[in-house]
Structure 1
Amino acid sequence: MAQLETMNMEDLAKARAETEAQLAQIKKAEAEYEGRKLQELKAEIEAMVARAGYSLADIFDGKSAKKGGKAKQPPKYRHPENKTITWSGRGRQPEWFKDALNSGKTREDLSI
């Protein structure tokens, strides 16, 4: 590339346009590189899992690791009157659980 100080305005504009085009190509290549690396990594993992006699679905129970639905927790508490209503003890307390505690029952009374 010629010395920038000796270039006229037309040559400078042309050099800028060429540089910006090259920069756009570099950015595109960077983005494609990440995609290629992820595909290569996934292929390596799938091959490793296949050598062990499994599939990714076996490992992730048919769910994507990103989407990763949490495993359902077993029930820890049971409704005092309706035994089909249960709660795992996680998340917001159900109204029936709060009502039972307010009426004098303990967590142990409601435990399964």
Structure 2
Amino acid sequence: MPSLKDLLAQRAALEAQIAETQASERANAVAKVKSLMEDYGLTLADLAVKAGARKTTKSSVAAKYRNQATGETWSGRGLQPKWLKAAIAGGATLDQFKI
């Protein structure tokens, strides 16, 4: 059974090998990408446009309910906020908060 000192030395050696391999594979990938860019006449701007085209924007939903006392709002989607739950528990109706 190897000692703790031996195992720690093995781990250090493995971590060094991992770092070397990562650096080597990254360099190879960069070289491959550069070669493809040259072959097809691509620029960084070409890559940025294509990457940006996949991004989606998050749209906001208009508020449907408002707490007149604090100005807090709720869109009607998801869980009811605490202020609305407390008001309904106190006897208010949802329609009273409708915008």
Shorter-chain-normalised TM-score: which range? 0.3 to 0.5
TM norm structure 1? 0.38
TM norm structure 2? 0.43
Larger radius of gyration: 1
Q: Which has the higher helix share?
A: 2
